[in-house]
Structures are given as structure tokens and as C-alpha cells.
Structure 1
Amino acid sequence: MDDYVGCHMYDENDTEEIIKPAVDVFEIEDYTAATDWEDFTDQLENVLRGWKLSAGNPREPAPEFGKPSNCEWRTETTQLEYLKFPFTIKYYRYTNKNENLAGDDALNETTSSEASDPNRVMEDISSGNFDFICDARPIPLTLFGLSEMIIISPSGPDILGNETRANQILGSINITLQNTGCNVPFLVQVMEPRNHLYIGSSISDNCRLEFSSVALNKKPMHVSHLSGLLQLFRNRICSPLPVEVSPVTVSARLSFQLEDWASYAWSVDPPDLDLFNASGETDFIELKELPLGCISDPIAGLTLHTTWRDLNEDLIVDNSVHSDLDPLEAAEWSIGISLQTKPECLLTKHVRSILELSRDRRTSKQVLKDFNIDSNPEGSGKECYKTA
């Protein structure tokens, strides 16, 4: 009996000839399977639904703007991966410390029409509440003036410098915002992190906003004054379709920095360190008080800010020939102080020395290794110390 060679096809004729199966293997590609990009989009949608940012979920209403010192950000963080490229997604929301935030019970009672305000983004970018906030975090707060945002950034050592991959992430974000009905702006950090460059989108009430930032290696001459910046703004608004732009509202600030402190003496006299040398019995009386203060000036520089807020562009002229922005006539003055990174402070130095001494496990001989110890040759039991 011949060996069984599997199922075969027989000839249509009544002959006993057996047609052997083809040895070639045909691979069928299943186009219904989800791709890596589709999986990443689905994960983004699940993240937004988990944070209750999708349409129909009750959310807290936008808080009233307070002083920058009372500003804090509530954050949510998660990790995702696309084509073995790790990302960190953070959701930022501005809150006021002085406000009594509603609890979970009160939040559940809030209707979706009150909580999910689609016009919040429009109000943020139109208001000047977040203009000229020094040392603001996150950085897009001052770039776009947003009180609520989602930022996706690379979490590994690599940067998102590939335009193709950045567009893939942005396309995935647009689909996610459309499918979930989320109206929170979604930003992508691209290029070097120190440059703070972002691209992103926001979809609300069938209106799509695009966010982008650009870093110029060399500043063009026409953007050195207000008239050039306004012209750049109008050109950006009129692209790709021409739009009639009404007079805009302008806020301007001129800053003057003083960093040279060589001609100014330190106003606080440094303490007399000789009082703390244990050279006699009376010197230990001074050890009951710890020194306090910096040895040198802790201030590294002063910055004077002169600000004009919410002015109509027709009221001011600032071009290469004439400027109405006179610092002496500014409506608002403020001073910013930059401090030394690690100033040498006496109290910190002494407390650190005390803590190090309390954790010191060396013996007395190890501490006095710089001294020569000679035993008393007369055998009196005393030891004589002399410096080397």
C-alpha cells in the first residue's frame, strides 16, 4: 500500500490519475486586522474616556482667574507606546487654590451642559489672563493662554523630530477628538524639549483649531516692532483663504534686565567667623547661637517689566521710525528677581555639618589622624598631643 500523501483533486475524466496538490503556499493578508496606528488611536480614546473628558461626561466648570501665586495645576498622567516609541500623556487643568472645589457628589449632580463648555477654548485664547506670567508651568500656558490642555511628549531619550511620525500622532489625535467629542486642546511636543515647540488641535462645536509654534534661528527685522508682528498675524489669519480682519487688541511688555552687581556692595556685613573658633573656654558661649544669612548677595539680577494691556491697535504706533511704547508712561510696572542657583548660606552650612557629624562613625584616632599621639614615658597614664 502506498503511503498516504493527503487529500488530492481527481481528474474530471474517469481516469485513475491523481492530481497532486500544489506545493506553493499562498498567504492571505487580512485587511480587517487593526494596525499599530489604529491600536494607538484606540488607546488614546480609552485614555480620554477614562479621564471622563469625552462628550456627555460631567466636568467641573472653568474656575475664575486669580493671582498667579494662587494658581495651581491638577494633572493626570499615563504612558502609551507607538511602534516601540514611548509617550507620556499629561492632562493639565487650571484651578484656583482659594476656591472650594466641588467634591465627587457635587460633580455628579452637575449637568453636562454646564460642565462641558465648548466655548472654554475660545474664551481662553481671547482673554489675557495668562499673558506675561513669569516662570509659568506648563509652557503652553503662556504660548497659547490655555487653562486646560492635554500634552503628549516622548518619554524616552529620543525626540519626536520625524515629521512623518509627528503627523501620524497628530492625525491620530484628530480622530480621537472627533470620536470622543472631547473639546480639550491636545498638543504634541516636537523637536528638542528645550525649544518648547508644540503642534496640536482642538475640536469644539464643529470648529477645529490648529496650534503651532515656531523657533527662528535668526529674528527677521520686520518682527522687531509691533507693526511687523501685526502684519505677520494678519497674514497667518488670511491663510489659506483671505479673511477681513478687524482691529485687534494688543498687550505689550518691555523688559529691562540688570545683572551687573559689581559696583554694589553687599548690604549685610558677613559674620565674624573667628568667634566660632574654639580657642578658649569663653568661645563656647557663642555656640548657643547659630549664624544666619548669606555670605554673598543671593540676588543674581533684577528685571523691570513695563506693561500695556488690552489696547486697541489704532491707539499705539510702534514701527522702525516711531514708538509710543515709552517705559516711563507705561500703565503697569513690575519687578522680577532672579536668585543665585545655590548661594552659600551660613545656617545651612552649619546644620549640614552637625548632621554629618551625628552620622560620623569614625573613631577618635581616625578623626585625629593629623595629630601625633605620644604616650607619657613616665607611665602617668596621660597622653601628650603635638601637631605634626
Structure 2
Amino acid sequence: MNEEIDEYDIYHQDFTTVSEWEVFIARIEEILNDWRLSKASLPKFTSSPVSTKKWTGKTEEIRFHGLTFILSYHAVEVAKDTDSTEGSDDKSVTGELHNGIWNATTHFMDDVDGSPFPVSNWYGLSRYVMLYCSTPLSDGSLIKLVMSSVNIAFANVDCGVPLFVKIREHWQHTYLGFYEDNEYKTSFDTIHLKRISNQCSHLSGLVSLFKSKIASPVALDAVVVSTKFSYELKELEAFGWKKMTHSNEFLSIDGFDVKKLIDLPFGSEKNPIQSVLLNAIWPKFRECTIVESSTFSDIDPLMAPTWTITLKIRDNFTCQLSETISRLMDLLENGKLLMDILGLSRSLGLINPLHKITEAPITISKLVKAAMGHSKNTGDFKGPIADDLLMPLLYYVFPDAVEDDTFNYPEKFEVEFKQADSSEPRLCHYVKTSPVGGLVWRLSVTAARLHHAGGLPYLAHLWYEFTQELQYRWEHRIPVP
């Protein structure tokens, strides 16, 4: 006798319950739709877009199999004056990808375009979607599961942007990518080899490997190839670097040379070039045009139609002019008094400057005293700069104080006015500038050279005499040139 089994005791598999895999796919579709990456929503440019070489991005986190995945969208900014309409067809996107790949062959693996991932540089992409895991994605079965998920989400959304998945260790930069339309499917695959096989060491072997991966049942046309040979020079420290040294001969009392005074230090102290990369490029030729195998090669770098050279600059290197200006700008944070630097407080007994706030150690400048014929040995203040050198410096800054016309100001100052189209020049834009040869320009150059040669005491002495001259001109209503 058969026992009656209650139907409630039988386990029923509820296939209507959403699985974790389906939630993962639905989440990717939701994000792609929110970012408006479908072909119907992407902007279509009426002309060739002009990029600004600035990348923008969006990111979202997704949980799957206990791992954290980050889905990000990256696109290069387009100039504002580029005309565009909403919606793009398959041919325009495929043509953009095809042209980008050929354009990328000239700077493949040797240029950085500012994108967070190198796939934009490898394949010449202006926009792409990247899915990567916070931990290395090395499990083969999990990689296949993730790739099948993104393929389904890509097809459901009808995405118009190539999609990549980062696999293996992060330092290997291995990516699996694809783009699909109604007629073609483009695969962007990379492989990381520990050792290069003999077949991959020459052009004929690479072409044979490429055709075998296609596995076409019919005969294929000739493959179009772009070849580039790169030669990089890294050890540049062995080469001599001539540093432009600047002497302090202008401080010589025997003869004051203005040319040596205004010759500011310029150039890098060390070689700023980190490496030099020379590329010999053969762009877009058929495989039968050039023969290159393991035993024979027609490729001669000297006969390459295109040569490019790339200089990589060091991250941190010191430039002499920048260093000179930086030292002057650092003086803005110096809290020392001018009287203390020159030693005037102790020599004049000014322990508390407020007691003699109205008294000045020198009431008239050295230029006025020299013009009046006063003796130099009257117990005046003696700074670190000798009078025989200080007087030519002051005559250079104030050439109207002497009848000699050796250092006169230019008759006409030239100021470069930058103005927009169909607009009048605005002088207020140049309030903080000074023409070459003017008072402010001469004072700045002299101050920089003195500070570089003698430090803060030399600069303080020059500024002290400069302010004394301005005070005298103010009190006697003498115009400043």
C-alpha cells in the first residue's frame, strides 16, 4: 500500500526568485542607462570633435560573489564649440573606433594621455567603460562568469561605448574588452607573457598567429599592418650636462658692468631629461609589402617613412631662475626688521624703536649727499655694500640723479597688450607689470642679483638706500621716474 505523501512535504524550487547573478546583470544595466550610454542617447558630432585632453569620469560600486567591483565611465572632454546632436548610428561608432586604432599606432606604448587606464592610449579611444575588482581577478571561472554578465548587459542596453574588464594582477595591466553592433564585434584583448615565443618575435609569425585566432573558413585578404621600432636611451647621467654658471663680477669695484648685472641665472642645474625615445614607424601597409621572418628582414629603421622622438622630463628638477624667484618670495614670510638685519638698532641705541619713532638715522640719501658734495667720511651708516659699489647700483636704479646719460631710461617703454578680438586694450590688466628698463624692473633685477650674491644683508642695504631716496623725493616733491 502506497503511503500518501503530503504535497507540502515536497521541496519546490522557486525559479521566480532573482539570483545573485541576475542582480549583478540588472545593476550593470541600470548604471549604463543612468549614464545614458545607449546608442540612442550618445551625442553624435556633426564634425570631427576637438578634444581638450581632459578626462571626466563616473564610478559606481557593485557587489558580486562577495567581491567589490567598480564600474567606471571615462570620456575625454570635447570643446564647447563642437556641434553635436543626440543619437549615433552603428557606422559612426565603428568608424570612430577604427580610426582611433590606426591613429594610436603612432604613439602606442610610449605616451600618456591622462586617462586612468592605458586602454585609451593603446586603442585610441575617446570614451570607454571599465569594470574592475578591488582585488586581483585571477579565477578563470569567475572571469568567464563576469564576461558573460557584461556581454548580456551590453546587449540589453545597446551600449555605444566599448566595455573592458580588468583581470589578473593589477600591475600586469591585462584587459578583456569588446564592442558589438549589428554587423561586427570588435574584441580588445591583451595578454601578458613572461617570455616571448619565437613565433611572436617577427612579423610573419605575428600575422600567422592573428589569422589562426580568426579561424575563418574562407581565405582571408591580406592583413594591414602598422610596425614601429622603438629605441630608448635611459642612462643620461653618463653624459655631461653643462650648467650655466653666473659669477658675481658685477660686484667688482674696478668696473661696473650692467650687462653682467642684468644677466640673471637661467637653466637647469642638472639634466632635466629622464629618457629619450626614438620611434621608426611604418604606418598601414599590407603584409606582403615587407618580408620579416626569423631568418630575413626587409625592415630597416633608416628607411622608415616616419620618425618620432619623445622626451620624458624628470618629475623634480631645479631651475636656477625659478629658484632665484622662490628665494625672493620666501622673504615675504621673514619677520626680521630691516634695522636688525643691518645692525642699526644696536649701533644707534634703539633698544625700543617706539622711543625714537620720529627719528631717522639718515635723513637724506647717499645720492643727494653725493650731489651736494658732502664728504663720505662723516660718520654715516656703513652697510655691507661698499660705497664705491653702492653708488653705481643706485645710479643705475635712479639714472636721473646724475648728469651722465649712460644708464638713462628708454625713451619709449614697450608693454605687450593682450586684447580680445574687436575690443579696446585695457591698461588696468597690466597694473602689476613693469616694462623692461623701468624703475621697478631695474630694482627687481638688482635686488635678485644682490640677494643671490650676498644674501639678505646685501638686499636689505639696497632696500634701505632705495627707501631713503624715495623719502627724500617725497618730502621735496621730486617726481619719481
TM-score, scaled to structure 1: 0.70
CA distance in 2, matches of 1:38, 1:258: 52
CA separation of 1:351/1:153 partners in 2, compared to 1, >3 Å: closer, same or farther? farther
CA distance in 1, matches of 2:246, 2:69: 52
The one of 28, 31, 34 equivalent to 2:18 is 34
Supply the AA of the counterpart residue of 1:269: M
Counterpart of 2:112? 136
Counterpart of 1:328? 302
**Comparing 218-227 and 165-174, the one that deviates more:** 165-174
Task: Report how far residue 168 of structure 1 moved.
Answer: 2.8
Tell me if the contact between 2:282 and 2:304 (Cα under 8 Å) persists in the aligned partners. Answer: yes
| Secondary structure of 1:309's aligned partner | strand
Supply the AA of the counterpart residue of 1:135: D
Counterpart of 1:315? 289
Percent identical across equivalent pairs?
A: 24
Tell me if the contact between 2:49 and 2:82 (Cα under 8 Å) persists in the aligned partners. Answer: no
Supply the AA of the counterpart residue of 1:136: V
CA distance in 1, matches of 2:49, 2:223: 23
Q: Where do 5+ consecutive residues of structure 2 fail to align?
A: 1-8, 352-481
Supply the AA of the counterpart residue of 2:153: T
The one of 227, 243, 268 equivalent to 1:252 is 227
Supply the AA of the counterpart residue of 2:291: V
CA distance in 2, matches of 1:260, 1:242: 50
The one of 288, 303, 312 equivalent to 1:338 is 312
For 1:179-198, list aligned pairs within 5 A: 179-198=156-175
Task: Report how far residue 123 of structure 1 moved.
Answer: 5.2
Task: Report how far residue 243 of structure 1 moved.
Answer: 4.5
CA distance in 2, matches of 1:260, 1:233: 36
TM-score, scaled to structure 2: 0.58
Tell me if the contact between 1:276 and 1:287 (Cα under 8 Å) persists in the aligned partners. Answer: yes
Counterpart of 2:456? none
CA separation of 1:276/1:152 partners in 2, compared to 1, >3 Å: closer, same or farther? farther
| Secondary structure of 1:315's aligned partner | coil
Supply the AA of the counterpart residue of 1:313: E
Counterpart of 1:116? 89
Tell me if the contact between 1:304 and 1:334 (Cα under 8 Å) persists in the aligned partners. Answer: yes
CA separation of 1:121/1:93 partners in 2, compared to 1, >3 Å: closer, same or farther? farther
Tell me if the contact between 2:131 and 2:165 (Cα under 8 Å) persists in the aligned partners. Answer: yes
CA distance in 2, matches of 1:95, 1:116: 21
Counterpart of 1:87? 69
Counterpart of 2:44? 60
Q: Where do 5+ consecutive residues of structure 1 fail to align?
A: 1-24, 369-375, 384-388
Counterpart of 1:46? 30
Aligned length: 327
CA distance in 1, matches of 2:316, 2:291: 43
CA separation of 1:65/1:305 partners in 2, compared to 1, >3 Å: closer, same or farther? farther
CA distance in 1, matches of 2:93, 2:325: 50
Task: Report how far residue 191 of structure 1 moved.
Answer: 1.9
CA separation of 1:87/1:355 partners in 2, compared to 1, >3 Å: closer, same or farther? farther
Post-superposition Cα deviations, 1:74-117, rounded to whole Å, max 9, x if no partner, equal 533122121453333332345665x7223xxx63xx4x4xx233
Task: Report how far residue 195 of structure 1 moved.
Answer: 1.9
Task: Report how far residue 28 of structure 1 moved.
Answer: 7.7
Counterpart of 1:8? none
RMSD: 3.9
Task: Report how far residue 265 of structure 1 moved.
Answer: 3.0
For 1:166-205, list aligned pairs within 5 A: 166-205=143-182
The one of 266, 272, 296 equivalent to 1:298 is 272
Post-superposition Cα deviations, 1:192-244, rounded to whole Å, max 9, x if no partner, equal 23321101332211644433210100111221111111111111111xx6442
Q: Which has the larger radius of gyration?
A: 2
Counterpart of 1:7? none
Counterpart of 2:125? 146
